[in-house]
Amino acid sequence: MGRRVVVTGIGLVTPLGHDVETVWSRLLNGESGVGRITLFDASNYATKIAAEVKNWDVDDIGEDPNDWKNQDRHTKFAVGAGYKAMKDSGLLDEGVRSLDPDRFGVYTGAGEGEQSFSDFAAMMVAGLSDNGDLDEGKFIRKGLEILNPVRELEQEPNMPAAHLAAMFNAKGPNVNCLTACAASAQAIGEATEIIRRNEADVMIAGGAHSMIHPFGVTGFNLLTALSVSNDEPEKASKPFDKRRDGFIIGEGSGMLILEELEHAKVRGAKIYGEIAGYGATSDAYRITDTHPEGRGAISCMKLALEDAGIKPEDVDYINAHGTSTGVNDRVESLSIREVFGKYAYQIPVSSTKSMTGHLIAAAGATECIYCLLAIRDNIVPPTINFETRDPDCDLDYVPNVARKVQVDVALSNSFGFGGQDVSLVVKRYAV
């Protein structure tokens, strides 16, 4: 059968909380993490709401915040979730030195950090000539005075992976992929393949992102992708509901400790589940639009099921990409019907983005963790704010209330801008 990959630790920093059990409890209770934007003045923006991470800093894991003042939010989130996952795995208690550092790697799907919006604005003002035109030479000279080179470096997407490797002496493969909303799911899939190929025994895998800043919100507003239901933030994310008007931008991190099965068994690690299947495809269509017939989504779900060696009827739960945008929800529903046939109507399908918002690059990892918890507890989280049925979205979306159900196999979907599609199959661990 080859090398099997299991999950032995999980960590979360999300709009619903900073520890796994708090986040999971709030998801099952149908609580929303969406509110008014506080990270900047959004009063003049079309979208004034987001799912922010509240009251988080690296001192929560024993790190001195002064040592991290130049690091961006996405890195701080990643370090927090990564530390919690390592702690949960037992590897910190045993001592990281017990790991062969050359067989221990990091694979993240992390987005770019917050752009230095205020720095850039200051550069623009400073670079104006007396007649109000931009003086390019003056702009560059002032930029060299204003910009912090370390701060600029820390915006890079690979910084979370670099910091995690340094924290835990992980000298094996160190990679970051940025495939939009599919990034952290792809990181988990590719990290699994690294272990399967015998290039590592343990990998920290997951993602981190924050785009709740003026550039991020402006960009998605220009694409008309964000909800403008500002009056009732907690009700704005409504995946698969006919009233949906766009996604809610969120932020945070989810990290998993992936471990080769025999390596985990030797040290007596607890096992959340097995990463059994991974499928990755491209729509090869448009940059912002999902293929209307779901060709990439259909292919990647089929590949993940094939990789896991299971039939569609073996799947007990689907954590949908479910962004709350018109096209995505319709096409994902169509794609699930195509892959699962009549059985599609018997599978609970829910979108946890209805509560967390869309964590962009970090979404896939957090949602994979929710699948593992569904397997652990035999309960699936709801899709909240589901009130008005859409004829194009006719599956069982677990409306508004969590449901007890036997979950041995779960499928997690992540579909990104640019047409990147990833599906992961996670299974209850069995000998």
**Quick check: 251 and 207 in contact, CB under 8 A?**
no
pTM over 0.85: yes
- Statement to judge: residues 53 and 101 lie in one domain: yes
**Quick check: 10 and 82 in contact, CB under 8 A?**
no
What pLDDT does 113 receive? 75
How many residues belong to the chain? Answer: 431
* pLDDT tens for the 431 residues of the chain, in order: 579 999 999 999 999 999 999 999 999 999 999 999 999 999 999 999 999 999 998 998 988 888 888 788 999 999 999 999 999 999 987 655 578 999 999 999 998 877 555 565 565 566 666 677 767 776 666 665 656 666 667 778 899 999 999 999 999 999 999 999 999 999 999 999 999 999 999 999 999 999 999 989 999 999 999 999 999 999 999 999 999 999 999 999 999 999 999 999 999 999 999 999 999 999 888 877 788 889 999 999 999 999 999 999 999 999 999 999 999 999 999 999 999 999 999 999 999 999 999 999 999 999 999 999 999 999 999 999 999 999 999 999 999 999 999 999 999 999 988 889 999 999 999 98
What pLDDT does 142 receive? 60
Which range of residues forms the domain containing residue 392? 5-114+155-427
Query: Which of 153, 181, 211 marks a domain boundary?
Result: 153
368 part of the active site: no
DSSP element (H, E) containing 318: strand 317-319
- Statement to judge: residues 254 and 264 lie in one domain: yes
What pLDDT does 115 receive? 57
358 part of the active site: yes
Nearest to 179 by CA among 282, 82, 251, 80: 282
**Catalytic hit among 321, 368, 371, 393:** 321
- Statement to judge: residues 78 and 11 lie in one domain: yes
321 part of the active site: yes
**Tokens standing for residue 57:** 């800093």
**Tokens standing for residue 245:** 């008007």
What pLDDT does 147 receive? 60
What pLDDT does 336 receive? 98
CA-CA-CA-CA dihedral for 415, 113, 202, 370, to nearest 10 = -50
- Statement to judge: residues 74 and 135 lie in one domain: no
What pLDDT does 122 receive? 60
Nearest to 384 by CA among 230, 238, 232: 238
- Statement to judge: residues 110 and 135 lie in one domain: no
What pLDDT does 120 receive? 57
In the numeric block, the tokens 């899709």 are attached to 383
**Quick check: 255 and 85 in contact, CB under 8 A?**
yes
Measure CA 349 to chain center: 18
DSSP element (H, E) containing 392: none
- 38, 92, 120, 389, 428 from 87: Cα distances, Å: 31, 5, 39, 43, 22
- Distance, in Å, from the CA atom of 90 to the CA atom of 7, rounded to the nearest integer, reads 12
Measure CA 51 to chain center: 13
**Quick check: 425 and 314 in contact, CB under 8 A?**
no
- Statement to judge: residues 134 and 235 lie in one domain: no
- Distance, in Å, from the CA atom of 58 to the CA atom of 64, rounded to the nearest integer, reads 7
Instruction: Give every CB contact of residue 41 below 8 A, 6+ residues apart in sequence.
Output: none
- Give me the CATH number covering residue 216: 3.40.47.10
- Statement to judge: residues 262 and 126 lie in one domain: no
Q: How many domains, the chain?
A: 2
- Distance, in Å, from the CA atom of 431 to the CA atom of 419, rounded to the nearest integer, reads 37
Q: Is 73 helix (H, G, I), strand (E, B) or coil?
A: helix
- Statement to judge: residues 72 and 10 lie in one domain: yes
CA-CA-CA-CA dihedral for 90, 95, 101, 105, to nearest 10 = 30
- Statement to judge: residues 247 and 356 lie in one domain: yes
**Catalytic hit among 263, 300, 358, 371:** 358
- φ/ψ of 386, rounded to 5, equals -90, 105
- Statement to judge: residues 49 and 147 lie in one domain: no
Query: Which of 153, 169, 200 marks a domain boundary?
Result: 153
**Tokens standing for residue 72:** 């961006």
- Statement to judge: residues 28 and 167 lie in one domain: yes
Query: Which of 100, 130, 153 marks a domain boundary?
Result: 153
**Catalytic hit among 18, 163, 181, 371:** 181
**Tokens standing for residue 239:** 């995946």
- Statement to judge: residues 334 and 349 lie in one domain: yes
What pLDDT does 68 receive? 85
CB atoms within 10 A of CB 94: 13
